[in-house]
């Protein structure tokens, strides 16, 4: 039944899908204290809003964009690829992809929780293979939906495990691309503390290790969500500095400032991982 409903949703025009997302966002705003609390807390910690009025506006818009992101994800998963790709109105920076491929380099795409991060891998996979690092879903009902939605085209998934890292490295050494959420909090012992909007955030060290071992090019990418369901603009830019946790966080900050309301502020970015236990709030 759920899959049938998602397939119906996926066939709707994007403006209607985004409209359903806005309604979902209002539902989160009024009825999900957890989402609202985390959004407020993270925006307050980041200090990105210049005034109290802008802070309140950003909280509201962020939660609405979170609703859009949730609904559009399911639509992208269950809509045929040839009908999803036209939603991408423009890709800015594709020349960096071509430059890396001409030199036979693998590519590490760093795609933070900004805008529509499902569309970027699908757009690339329509042209070349990509292996995406993912953390298995905790909810059992969600796992088969993720597998069906993401395992298509030229996308392969690699779990956050030793075997998954080996798959990433193998793809890079073959001159292929991989995708990583660089602002996903790693497990205890797999990261270091690095400033993110002036506050220490536990940050993965995997990117630097993969880049130094494989000689891959590191690119930042995100799918900007256009208003009123007009589609997406994919932005690709090179990481100008060494791929250290500090430099990566700084580069993500620059992207977030382009459209701060589209960052997933409800994600527990500043949580503190505990060894052999459940992470707690920072």
Residue 150 has a pLDDT of 83
Task: Give me the DSSP letters along 112-175.
Answer: -SBB-HHHHHHHHHTTS-EEEEEPPPSSTTTHHHHHHHHS-TTEEEEESSHHHHHHHHHHHHTT
pLDDT (tens digit per residue) in 86-126: 999 999 999 999 999 999 999 999 999 999 999 999 999 99
pLDDT bin (cut points 50, 70, 90) of residue 273 is confident
- So what's the pLDDT on residue 152? 83
Confidence of residue 135 (pLDDT cuts 50, 70, 90): confident
In a domain, 267, yes or no: no
Residue 280 counted as domain residue: no
Give domain status of residue 200, yes or no.
Answer: yes
pLDDT score of 23 more than 80: yes
Establish if 277 belongs to a structural domain: no
Bridge-based pairing of strands 199-204 and 155-159 is unpaired
Residue ranges making up the domain that contains 184: 2-262
Within 8 A by CB and 6+ apart from 57, the residues are: 49
Sequence-distant (≥ 6) Cβ neighbours of residue 139 within 8 angstroms? none
pLDDT attached to residue 71 = 96
CA quadruple 109, 178, 73, 57: dihedral, nearest 10: -20
Q: Does the residue 8 lie in any domain?
A: yes
How many folded domains does the chain comprise? 1
282 in any annotated domain: no
Residue 163 vs residues 136, 157, 207, 211, 267: alpha-carbon distances, Å: 14, 11, 16, 18, 26
With respect to residue 273, please indicate whether it lies within any of the assigned structural domains. no
Question: First-to-last CA distance in the chain?
Answer: 39
pLDDT at 66: 98
């Amino acid at each position: 039944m759920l899959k049938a409903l998602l397939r119906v949703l996926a066939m709707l025009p994007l403006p209607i899908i985004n409209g359903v997302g806005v309604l979902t966002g209002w539902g989160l705003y009024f009825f999900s204290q957890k989402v609202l609390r985390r959004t407020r807390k993270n925006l307050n910690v980041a200090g990105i809003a210049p005034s109290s009025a802008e802070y309140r506006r950003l909280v509201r818009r962020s939660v609405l964009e979170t609703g859009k992101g949730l609904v559009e994800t399911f639509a992208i998963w269950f809509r045929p690829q040839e009908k999803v790709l036209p939603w991408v109105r423009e890709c800015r920076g594709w020349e960096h992809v071509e430059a890396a491929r001409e030199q036979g380099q693998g590519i590490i795409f760093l795609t933070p929780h900004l805008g529509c991060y499902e569309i970027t891998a699908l757009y690339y996979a329509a042209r070349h293979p990509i292996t995406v690092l993912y953390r298995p879903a905790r909810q059992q009902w969600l796992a088969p939906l993720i597998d069906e939605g993401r395992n298509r085209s030229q996308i392969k998934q690699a779990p956050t495990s030793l075997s998954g890292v080996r798959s990433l490295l193998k793809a890079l050494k073959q001159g292929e691309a991989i995708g990583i959420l660089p602002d996903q909090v790693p497990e205890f012992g797999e990261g270091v503390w690095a400033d993110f909007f002036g506050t220490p955030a536990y940050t993965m060290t995997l990117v630097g290790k993969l880049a130094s071992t494989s000689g891959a090019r590191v690119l930042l990418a995100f799918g900007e969500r256009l208003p009123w369901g007009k589609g997406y603009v994919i932005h690709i830019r090179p990481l100008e500095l060494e791929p250290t946790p500090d430099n990566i966080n700084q580069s993500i900050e620059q992207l977030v400032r382009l459209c701060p309301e589209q960052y997933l502020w409800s994600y527990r970015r500043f949580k503190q991982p505990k060894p052999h236990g459940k992470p707690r709030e920072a």
